[in-house]
Structure 1
Amino acid sequence: MRCEDESIEGRDPAALILGCGYLGRRLARHYLDRGTAVLGVVASEASRRALSDEGIPALAIDLAADDLGRLPLAGRAVFHLAPPPGQGVEDRVTRRLVAACARQGHPRRLVYISTTGVYGDCGGAWVDETWPVRPSAERAQRRWDAEQTLRQWRQASGETLVILRVAGIYGPERLPLERIRQGLPLVCESQAPFSNRIHVDDLVQACVAAMERGADGEVYNVCDDRPSTMTDYFFQIADAAGLPRPPEIPISEMAGQLSAGMQSYMRESRRLSNRKLRTALGVELAYPTLEDGLAGALARH
């Protein structure tokens, strides 16, 4: 038994946070501040120690490679925030998790963080949860594979599953300031596709609401009220931080000047509706627009 197991012995965490990173730390703090025991799961001992230093109980278990027998899954409320592998179209992490549930007991409720990328390119249309799923990028195909794997788990186990399809996350310590300082180019605003985002604090709200009252088997888009272009996103951050705006290039020239990841984002355009998030889950966004969220994010960056 590892030493970190002893540090949680005797505790009974109500919530298990798999992949307790940028979002997970804030989610854990939400519960701990309210007197609810949680347990974070991270891939390395260094990450476990970092969580411990923040007062967050944690286990170091690599979900992609380690024996998952030590995960206290049975009867728990589980937040599955762990990313899929970096390549391919299958999420082996989620498949291993489901197999572990079958062996050692099922969570009573699982909230999965997916991506709005599963919708693929929508030509700038407004997209709600009924929009057909057509992931094109491999990263989105992996998330879609995870969604399908978890739906099969729900059918087999009879337990509760809620899926959040999340837009681009921003917040303190998660702004592209270094890229802006480097003066790397962006596709000119008139040609840039629509993109969507959510402040991390509002995403925490959505996670908690999904766990408390999300309908079994339902999907909810998680985004703010105002889609814009990726270029506008960078421009607003640059302006708020007092930095020069990055140079613009035609979309026809992006192949030689933008990273492969940025190019893939430029090939998809959609405007997400958060109506279901607001009406069905009752989430009232603290930061309904990027302008609302930037000042605080920069102050704490």
Structure 2
Amino acid sequence: MTSAVTDVLVIGCGDIGERVARRERSEGRSVAGVVRSEQSVRRLRAAGLRPIVADLDDPSSLKQISVKDSLVYYFAPPPANGVTDPRMEAFVTTMTAPNLPRRVVLISTTGVYGDCRGEWVTEDRPANPQVDRARRRLAAETALRRWSKASGVPIVILRVPGIYGPGYLPEERLRSGEPVLREEESPYSNRIHAADLAHVCFIAGHHDTPGALYNVSDGHPTTMTDFFHRVADLLGIPRPPAVTLEEARKRLGEGMLSYLAESRRIDNRRMREELGVELMYPDLASGLPSCFKRCG
């Protein structure tokens, strides 16, 4: 940004939110995080962060939140049902003059592109969400864009694929022996290490002239089957059994099948070239071992 940010607000203080908050605090900024539970309050205080107790599902509780002149990171997911995001809709109504932030950074999903038949996907590709969870994310983007246009406050939307890192790996699924799709039938999928995602969020928050939309991925798509195989190998356990797509439709849950119904390769060049991002883990070969060294 052209002038120094001193106040930061994080909406959604899960792992990524806390990583970003810690980074901001390490650079001397005052950081607050919006949380609901007493357990989360204690966790933030232990990390030296200021908790603000509010519930995104209760718009009246949001009135206490001041975002004036702050950098806002919005990482809260939409509700689990529906095709809209009432949480985002409620939050943007609290940001009116003079209570306006300097910038808002939103984590969205590459799922808004829908099935791209394995093609490379840039930010110029029209959104075409095909499942409700992606429709909710696109609705959040739309609400934030509408607010930005009306308020004049810049926003940065980060479309993110599957996140991996310590605590994100499918160990329980692998140990249960649940099958995966045969490699030759498995669609492309994309990943980003949690440490790299937090780094990109920070850069998006402070870059002098960021764009409004970036794909965030490691740029080396593989398949979900390949990902599961690599994790199993590092755990030292047998690889999961492979089944045909026809058999998978009988044995896998709807959630997993919806992921397997979409194939795309995410192009991250804009992120690298415009934001100057250098990834710590540019592929699974470098990123997955770090998850077992308790680093990243």
TM-score (norm 1): 0.93
In structure 2, what is the equivalent of residue 259 of structure 1? Answer: 253
Q: How does 1:123-142 map onto structure 2 within 5 Å?
A: 123-142=117-136
C-alpha contact 2:9 2:31 (8 A) present in aligned 1: yes
Q: Where do 5+ consecutive residues of structure 1 fail to align?
A: 1-11
Correspondence for 1:185 among 163, 179, 182: 179
In structure 2, what is the equivalent of residue 24 of structure 1? Answer: 17
Describe the superposition over 1:19-66 as per-residue Cα deviations: whole angstroms up to 9, x where unpaired.
010101111111122222211112222212122223322122111125
Aligned counterparts of 2:237 and 2:29: Cα–Cα separation in 1: 41
Describe the superposition over 1:63-112 as per-residue Cα deviations: whole angstroms up to 9, x where unpaired.
11252011121221100001101000000000001111137622120001
SS of the residue aligned with 2:279?
coil
Higher mean C-alpha displacement, 182-191 vs 251-260: 251-260
Partner AA of 2:36 in structure 1 = A
Q: How does 1:204-243 map onto structure 2 within 5 Å?
A: 204-213=198-207, 215=209, 218-243=212-237
Q: How does 1:93-108 map onto structure 2 within 5 Å?
A: 93-102=87-96, 105-108=99-102
SS of the residue aligned with 2:96?
helix
Partner AA of 2:285 in structure 1 = E
In structure 2, what is the equivalent of residue 120 of structure 1? Answer: 114
Q: How does 1:84-99 map onto structure 2 within 5 Å?
A: 84-99=78-93
C-alpha contact 2:204 2:210 (8 A) present in aligned 1: no
Change in Cα spacing, 1:298 to 1:220, as seen in structure 2 (3 Å) is same
C-alpha contact 1:162 1:214 (8 A) present in aligned 2: no
SS of the residue aligned with 2:225?
helix
Correspondence for 1:50 among 43, 47, 51: 43
Structure 1 residue 227: Cα displacement: 0.1
Partner AA of 2:150 in structure 1 = A
Partner AA of 2:49 in structure 1 = I
Structure 1 residue 215: Cα displacement: 4.2
SS of the residue aligned with 1:17?
strand
C-alpha contact 1:15 1:77 (8 A) present in aligned 2: yes
Describe the superposition over 1:247-280 as per-residue Cα deviations: whole angstroms up to 9, x where unpaired.
1111112222112211110010000011011000
Correspondence for 1:143 among 117, 131, 137: 137
SS of the residue aligned with 1:190?
helix
Partner AA of 2:108 in structure 1 = S
Partner AA of 1:140 in structure 2 = A
Partner AA of 1:95 in structure 2 = E
Aligned counterparts of 1:95 and 1:108: Cα–Cα separation in 2: 19
Structure 1 residue 156: Cα displacement: 0.4
List, as ranges, runs of 4+ consecutive aligned residues in structure 1 with deviation greater than 6 Å. none
Aligned counterparts of 1:54 and 1:179: Cα–Cα separation in 2: 31
Asked if residue 109 in structure 1 is aligned to residue 103 in structure 2, the reply is yes
C-alpha contact 1:73 1:104 (8 A) present in aligned 2: no
Aligned length: 290
C-alpha contact 1:194 1:230 (8 A) present in aligned 2: yes
Q: How does 1:191-210 map onto structure 2 within 5 Å?
A: 191-210=185-204
C-alpha contact 1:18 1:40 (8 A) present in aligned 2: yes
Aligned counterparts of 2:98 and 2:165: Cα–Cα separation in 1: 37
C-alpha contact 1:160 1:217 (8 A) present in aligned 2: no
Partner AA of 1:176 in structure 2 = P
C-alpha contact 1:118 1:134 (8 A) present in aligned 2: yes
In structure 1, what is the equivalent of residue 264 of structure 2? Answer: 270
Change in Cα spacing, 1:74 to 1:56, as seen in structure 2 (3 Å) is same
Aligned counterparts of 1:275 and 1:134: Cα–Cα separation in 2: 21
- Give aligned-pair identity as a percent: 46
In structure 2, what is the equivalent of residue 4 of structure 1? Answer: none
Describe the superposition over 1:120-158 as per-residue Cα deviations: whole angstroms up to 9, x where unpaired.
000000001011110011010001001111111011001
